Structure 1
Amino acid sequence: PFFCGHFPQKHVMPGVLILEALAQVGAVAILSLPENRGKIALFGGVKNARFKRQVIPGDVLELECTLTKRRGPVGIGVCTATVNGETACTAELIFAIQ
């Protein structure tokens, strides 16, 4: 249903939902570290989000998030969403562990 509601004449996946998907992948990545087992990941924000192509019905969105920095309970992940090897979105996502 979100494809039809964003632009009624041109069905695309809203960028905010792509960022949400990347944030969930980032949370799984940071919580998979042994020292974070049983903890909660909190979303802290988005930096440098860039949308490079539309995601349309039928596309398979592949998500990747690499943890690049960590200081205490706060970390940053560089995340990418691609379709058929073509970048759809990149962003730095900030996380905190509680």
Structure 2
Amino acid sequence: MNKEELKALLPHREPMLLLDEAEVVQGPDGPEAHGRLAITGKEFFVQGHFPGNPVVPGVIQCEMLAQNCCVLLADDPIAKGATPYYTSLDKVRFKHPVVPGDTVEMVCRITRTKGPFRFAEGEARVNGKVCCKAEMSFALMPAGKEA
């Protein structure tokens, strides 16, 4: 999926749309979302983080993973017309900084479902090095409902 196709699926828009492209592929344990984002240095989140030493904040890396997970919801009937709200982040680890010039490659998978909840795990890498990994969950909230 390119950026325009992602916009048809995700509720996010610039400057918070944090995927350039994504695809669903069959992994060893089921479907996986493979996404990419090139960090240019012009993004709002590196402007003051940190002056002279720009680094992508960890919370933004977690949001990248979350958006990549949402690609897996394209064929989920409960997700149609719903907004995915983060409900948890667990076992988050930051292993390597992400800086302008990097292309972040993400792999995410849904590990289980329970009613409107989706549980997932994801990993972000740059040049093969793990930058961030996390377990997360989402609540799929129908339009007009609050989380």
TM class, shorter-length = 0.7 to 0.9
Distance 1:53 1:71, change over 3 A: same
User: C-alpha distance in 2, partners of 1:22/1:34?
Assistant: 18
CA offsets, 1:52-82, max 9 Å, x none?
0001110100112100011111121101111
**What's the counterpart of residue 23 of structure 2?**
none
> Please, what TM-score do these two structures have when normalized by structure 2?
0.60
Q: Which runs of no fewer than 5 residues in structure 2 stay unpaired?
A: 1-43, 142-147
**Alignment RMSD (CA, Å):** 1.5
Contact 1:27–1:95 (Cα < 8 Å) also in 2: no
* In structure 2, distance between residues paired with 1:10 and 1:39: 38
1:88 matched to 2:131? The reply is yes
- Seen in structure 2, the aligned counterparts of structure 1 residues 41 and 19 have a Cα distance that, compared at 3 Å, is same
Q: Identify the match of residue 9 of structure 1 among 30, 33, 52.
A: 52
Q: Hey, what's the Cα distance between the residues in 2 that align with 1:80 and 1:94?
A: 14
Instruction: Give the match for residue 22 of structure 1.
Output: 65
2-structure distance, mates of 1:12, 1:82: 15
Task: State whether structure 2 residue 120 is matched by structure 1 residue 52.
Answer: no
Unaligned runs of at least 5 residues, structure 1: none
Contact conserved, 1:69 with 1:76, CA < 8 A, in 2? yes
Any runs of at least 4 consecutive aligned residues in structure 1 with deviations exceeding 6 A, and if so which?
none
Number of residue equivalences: 97
TM-score (norm 1): 0.87
More helix by share: 1
**Counterpart residue number, 1:97:** 140
Equivalence map 1:61-76=2 (5 Å): 61-76=104-119
| SS of match in other structure, 1:76 | strand
How big is the shift at 1:22? Answer: 0.9
Distance in 1 (CA, whole Å) between partners of 2:56 and 2:80 is 32
Question: Percent of aligned positions with the same letter in both sequences?
Answer: 38
Separation (CA, whole Å) in 2 of partners of 1:25 and 1:7: 25
